[in-house]
Amino acid sequence: MRQSSPSHRFVAAIIAIVTVAAVGCGKTPPASFRLNMVQATKATVPESGLEKPWASWSRERQQQVATILEAMFGTPDEPVALPETGLDLAKLQLAAGPVRSDIVGRKNGLYREHCAHCHGISGDGMGPTAAFLNPYPRDYRQGKFKFKSTWRDAKPTHDDLVRLLHEGVIGTSMPSFALLPPAQVDALAEYVKYLSMRGEAEIALFTYAEQELGADEALPTTKEFLVDEVLTPIAEKWQGAADARIPVAAIPAGVDFNLPGNDLANRDSVARGKALFLGDGGCVKCHGVTALGDGQANDYDDWNKAIVAVSAEVAVGLLSSKEAATGGMSSDALADHRARSAWLDSFAHVLEGDALRPRTIPPRNLRIGHYRGGRRPIDLYRRLYTGINGAPMPGVGPSGPGGKGSVADEEIWHLVNYIRSLPYEMDGELGADRPMVAKDRF
């Protein structure tokens, strides 16, 4: 065979493809937690009197927070659970790290296997797939959760998280993990709490730095500060979740949840619920008189709202910093101006790369019969009682123990009954300003 024969070339091409593929991409680096850059940048507003250039000063502050967090919480591969967190390290270890089986064939790295591509390694809701999903996957770092049995501001209980993982969230890309063994779901729920506490501690550290520290001051690294002042209040809220369940009123007479929502036996109760829906409940503002979710639809949830707010702030700042006349400035003022411009530029950059494009949250079309927080009457009761934490949906129950809501507790059951009847309600029963058409149900 001569050198130039096609066979030689073919073999050479195959070898070349494999080599290029093997050499072209380097080894994947070990997983690391990503810093909450939006918080970090917010917390490094340049102050006058900075001795270093803003960029290196802010980087040092970020580095310090990263070091503290690593000491308190470890890494994605090796989690740390301080006793104050009340977290179970064995469960965390099952969920953390790369996907692998241990010596008894038990799977480890569950979070990266099942969740990280959506929720991100750091639980920032910015996994690779996130931009395609609507709603976006939850960013755990604010410690806010929607579907739970506790007061609006309270954390979900462990059981709430387990139940959520078991059921999934219908109508979103959040899947049900009912096919995983219970021990794995349990470990994953524990890991969600871990990531959430870590994210909240991160925000607390940056907020402290922003509010309490002067230029060039470092965060305290004493146990009193880090554990007692930062970590414990966060951990206590999680540990207190089980005691923060909302009370559940007795189901009033004339409400029979064993029958479909449109059953005649429920007629009076449904009518009362409807009156509340159209009246005191204030539901029509968002869900519309038709309950098709065609009321106010341009609102954001809390996660997106925060991004919208800082984006606007940064845009305004950039504009005025561009327009500022630097000609007559003293050298100090000029240095401050430069630092501020650098800050604004880097903030704009962070919003591009470390935040998802804000999206509005539409009120639910209540005629489809999809209830993301669960479809049992008790789930709907809880949704209406506290509203949906983090979303614009308000609650009709009291906002805390001993308070008074806009609808009495037992009456909420009638509202629940009405909600359950909506997917069955016939045309003409709407009392709406426009007749319903078949496509509205889809």
How many Å apart are CA 347 and CA 343, to the nearest integer? 6
CB 77 within 8 A of CB 30: yes
How many Å apart are CA 344 and CA 313, to the nearest integer? 9
Nearest to 257 by CA among 148, 381, 420: 420
**Site membership for ligand HEC, residue 274 (CB under 6 A):** no
Tokens 């890494």 found at = 75
**Site membership for ligand HEC, residue 397 (CB under 6 A):** no
Question: What is the DSSP annotation of 294-323?
Answer: -S----B-HHHHHHHHHHHHHHHHHHHHHH
Pick 341 or 421: Cβ nearer ligand HEC:
421
Tokens 């604010």 found at = 142
Question: What is the DSSP annotation of 308-373?
Answer: HHHHHHHHHHHHHHHHS--TT--HHHHHHHHHHHHHHHHHHHHHHHSSPPP-B-PPP-TTS---TT
Contacts with other proteins, residue ranges (CB under 8 A): 1, 5-8, 10-11, 14-15, 17-18, 21-22, 25-29, 31-32, 34, 98-101, 103, 105, 107, 109, 112-114, 116-117, 120-121, 126-135, 167-180, 353, 356, 365, 368, 370, 441-442
Q: Identify what 353 binds: other proteins, ligand HEC, none; CB under 5 to 8 Å per kind.
A: other proteins
Tokens coding 388:
């949906």
Pick 202 or 440: Cβ nearer other proteins:
440
Pick 57 or 277: Cβ nearer ligand HEC:
277
Pick 160 or 336: Cβ nearer ligand HEC:
160
**Site membership for ligand HEC, residue 356 (CB under 6 A):** no
Question: What is the DSSP annotation of 222-247?
Answer: -HIIIIIIIIHHHHHHHHTGGGGBPP
Considering the complex, what minimum distance in angstroms separates the CB of residue 405 from other proteins?
29
Tokens coding 200:
């909240």
Tokens coding 382:
């809880």
Q: Identify what 368 binds: ligand HEC, other proteins, none; CB under 5 to 8 Å per kind.
A: other proteins
Taking CB under 6 A as the binding criterion, the range among 32-40, 58-66, 278-286, 331-339 that sits at the site for ligand HEC is: 278-286
Taking the mean position of all CA atoms in its chain, how far away is CA 233?
20
How many Å apart are CA 392 and CA 293, to the nearest integer? 13
Kindly tell me which residue out of 393, 411, 421, 440 binds ligand HEC, with binding defined by CB under 6 A. Answer: 393
Kindly tell me which residue out of 68, 82, 92, 118 binds ligand HEC, with binding defined by CB under 6 A. Answer: 118
Tokens coding 211:
């509010």
Q: Binding string to ligand HEC for residues 173 to 212, with x set by CB under 6 A, is what?
A: xxx-x----------x---x--------------------
How many Å apart are CA 439 and CA 29, to the nearest integer? 50
CB 240 within 8 A of CB 154: yes
Count of residues in contact with ligand HEC, rule CB under 6 A: 48
Instruction: Give the number of other Cβ atoms within 10 Å of residue 331's Cβ.
Output: 7
Taking CB under 6 A as the binding criterion, the range among 55-63, 133-141, 216-224, 317-325 that sits at the site for ligand HEC is: 133-141
Considering the complex, what minimum distance in angstroms separates the CB of residue 64 from other proteins?
23
Kindly tell me which residue out of 54, 194, 206, 277 binds ligand HEC, with binding defined by CB under 6 A. Answer: 277
Pick 74 or 125: Cβ nearer ligand HEC:
125
Q: Identify what 96 binds: other proteins, ligand HEC, none; CB under 5 to 8 Å per kind.
A: none
Pick 94 or 314: Cβ nearer ligand HEC:
94
Taking CB under 6 A as the binding criterion, the range among 65-73, 97-105, 251-259, 359-367 that sits at the site for ligand HEC is: 359-367
**Site membership for ligand HEC, residue 287 (CB under 6 A):** yes
CB 208 within 8 A of CB 41: no
Considering the complex, what minimum distance in angstroms separates the CB of residue 110 from other proteins?
10
**Site membership for ligand HEC, residue 145 (CB under 6 A):** yes
In single-letter form, the type of residue at position 118 comes to C
> Please, is 100 exposed, middle or buried when counting C-beta atoms within 10 Å of its C-beta (0-12, 13-18, 19+)?
exposed
**Site membership for ligand HEC, residue 135 (CB under 6 A):** yes
Considering the complex, what minimum distance in angstroms separates the CB of residue 331 from other proteins?
39
Secondary structure (3-state) at 413: helix
Q: Given the rule CB under 6 A, which residues bind ligand HEC? A: 114-115, 118-119, 133, 135, 137-138, 145-148, 161, 164-165, 169, 172-175, 177, 188, 192, 277, 281-283, 285-287, 361, 363-364, 366, 371-373, 380, 383-384, 388, 391-394, 396, 415, 419
